[in-house]
Chain A
Amino acid sequence: MPVLDMTTCPLREVNATLQAHKAGTNETEWEVLNPRGSHAVAVGLDGPLTVSVRGSTGYYCAGMNKEATVLIEGSAGPGVAENMMSGKVIIDGDASQYAGATGRGGTLVIKGNASSRCGISMKGIDIIVHGNVGHMSAFMAQAGNLVVCGDAGEALGDSLYEARLFVKGTVRSLGADCIEKDMRPEHLELLDDLLRRGEVSGAKPEEFRRYGSARQLYNFNIDNIDAY
């Protein structure tokens, strides 16, 4: 497996090397050593690579990822997998704020906890958090699925659009226009798939509650002014 050691290999070289391997490459398995909290590691990947990052990362690791699988053997700083298009990002530890922000596709798995604004403005990404998520998670979330196996902080799903939220534990409070909804068979089936893809064991779909948009703020109405 080719190795990029960041004690000697500059960030630019790490990213340029990984970005150069697109569809059809034979070198699909990569290892990044000693990230030591560096920002923008493994961003803009555009091929079916598997990149193992041995350690914790700074801001925006795996940002705008396409097709690649990025494994972070540590914790991730703010904006991990921001605007991801496809592929998979798995974090062994915790994720800081804005995890999966604006993601448009792919799967983000956080095996620890996620801080505030997890899934902010998500646009199609699936995010599975084994632990808890902080306040304002899924703020203005447009599409995709957020699964929280632990608890959710204040104002979950504030100003939500069409994203689906599943929480196993408690929700401190729901944000504006976010309500609990019935868990129908199709949601249980969807959640079962999400838990499997998220490598979650010991949790059943029936143990979760579903939250979504009440769609009361989709068109401006002066009578809803207290919600704005």
Chain B
Amino acid sequence: MTKPNTYPRQPSAFDPYTNSEIRRAAATGIYDIRGGGAKRYVPNFDDLLFLGASMSRYPLEGYRETCNTKVAIGTRHAKTPIELDIPITIAGMSFGALSGPAKEALGRGASAAGTSTTTGDGGMTAEERVHSDRLVYQLLPSRYGMNPDDLRRADAIEVVVGQGAKPGGGGMLLGQKISDRVAEMRDLPKGIDQRSACRHPDWTGPDDLEIKILELREITGWEKPIYVKIAGSRPYYDTALAVKAGADAVVLDGMQGGTAATQEVFIEHVGQPTLACVRPAVQALQDLGVHRDVQLILSGGIRNGADVAKAMALGADAVSIGTAAMIAIGDNDPRWEDEYRQLGSTAGAYDDWHEGLDPAGITTQDPELEKRLDPVAAGRRLANYLKVMTLEAQTIARACGKSDLRNLEPEDLCALTIEAAAMAGVPLAGTDWIPGRSSD
């Protein structure tokens, strides 16, 4: 009697990717380092829907009735808040991680759309200052390139406590990208693997931070808004402590937020999804009576106008984009598919940004690769994209009867899954049930 064959069954826990990662670790003896944010599925804004207008809500006419998109950041203490035409900002990305032309493109695009861009872990370059109408200067633990002239040249200051891709981790820039200029800006030897500190060198905890912020305000004449950027770790308490420390604005970065380079295990296993972070942060602001007075800027996986509208409906004042902005200027473009394949990847999945071999010329310091990015054309693409996102968010807001994006509210939303309903604090679609809040 012939034994019947069964279909070979692959273990779900040891899928082909996992097995390849085990083999890679065994062969190289080093953890995987990559750029970008979490790639695994986590509950996100796609799990929410807007309800739209109905008998009890009156929509606004799409092309006749205005829907305000302007927002001022830094109204709490700063003499000169940043006035944004649109509530979508460009997140901090360093010169070093990105090429000079890429930073220029981000500045050009943001300026054309009436919003801000942000420096990164490498200081401020003259090019990005010139091309950015509104530039936020980051104060990071490494303090690479930090100087008081740039502080005074900035339009706002962002004290970086954490980053969604790596809460509790410092920056990383491998030797391939430490060019002469990058080395000089960071006071480092050329070609070393740069390890940024994860803690600030001159303060520990919110009481110290309050004094640090005082110092920054004294150096800049109390003119500049001071943001505190936190990772999606403990959003309620971290937001409350940032407010206590005197922040004008809180930038909250969920685990889908990208990085130039860090350990894969860090990106995928530390931190909370953006969707899970926003309501606790807003609750902290409301409990302290400073919601809207201290602005909340949400980042981590924002891709389109619907995400913008949903973030704002949950209480954010603005959003910030990094990965999406890079894609807009040309990152992971299928036109470079042959070269991505030569690097062992494919368009859309390429994340070895630390190697400095980016075919799109964005995450590199190679002079020849850099030339592939035209900063003027790339800036125009980014401006287009930002304007489309804004129009999309306005479309939704008008459909919900709102004349200002910040008038969107949780009551405009429902959730498609129990998990998203619990995280966002909105009812599961078709019910009035908010898990963890309503009794039945």
Q: Interface residues, chain A, CB within 8 Å of chain B?
A: 11-12, 15-16, 19, 39-40, 43-44, 46, 58-60, 63-64, 66, 78-79, 82-83, 85, 98, 101-102, 104, 117, 120-121, 123-124, 139-140, 142-143, 159, 161-162, 218-220, 222
Question: What is the predominant secondary structure among interface residues of chain B facing chain A?
Answer: loop
CB pair A101 B202 closer than 8 Å? yes
Chain A residues within an 8 Å CB radius of B30: 220, 222
CB pair B192 A60 closer than 8 Å? no
Beta-carbon nearest neighbor of A77 in chain B: B211
CA distance A159 to B208 in the complex (A): 25
CB pair B193 A219 closer than 8 Å? yes
Report the minimal beta-carbon distance from B347 to chain A, rounded to whole angstroms: 28
Chain B residues within an 8 Å CB radius of A78: 202-203, 208
Known pairs A83-B148, A161-B192 / 20 extra A-B pairs, C-beta < 8 Å: A11-B218, A16-B221, A39-B214, A40-B214, A40-B218, A43-B219, A44-B151, A44-B218, A60-B202, A63-B215, A78-B203, A102-B146, A102-B201, A123-B143, A140-B195, A143-B187, A161-B188, A218-B175, A218-B189, A222-B28
Q: Interface residues, chain B, CB within 8 Å of chain A?
A: 28-30, 142-143, 146-148, 151, 174-175, 186-189, 191-193, 195, 197, 201-203, 208, 211-212, 214-215, 218-222
The 12 listed contacts between A and B (C-beta, < 8 Å) are A11-B218, A15-B219, A39-B214, A44-B148, A79-B202, A83-B148, A101-B143, A120-B201, A124-B187, A142-B188, A161-B188, A220-B174
Identify B219's interface contact among A39, A44, A102, A123, CB under 8 A. A44
Beta-carbon nearest neighbor of A218 in chain B: B192
Beta-carbon nearest neighbor of A63 in chain B: B215
Identify B212's interface contact among A60, A117, A162, A218, CB under 8 A. A60
CA distance A142 to B178 in the complex (A): 15
CA distance A218 to B175 in the complex (A): 9
CA distance A66 to B201 in the complex (A): 20
CA distance A40 to B214 in the complex (A): 7
Chain B residues within an 8 Å CB radius of A143: 187
CB pair A219 B188 closer than 8 Å? no
Chain B residues within an 8 Å CB radius of A85: 147-148
Chain B residues within an 8 Å CB radius of A219: 175, 191-193
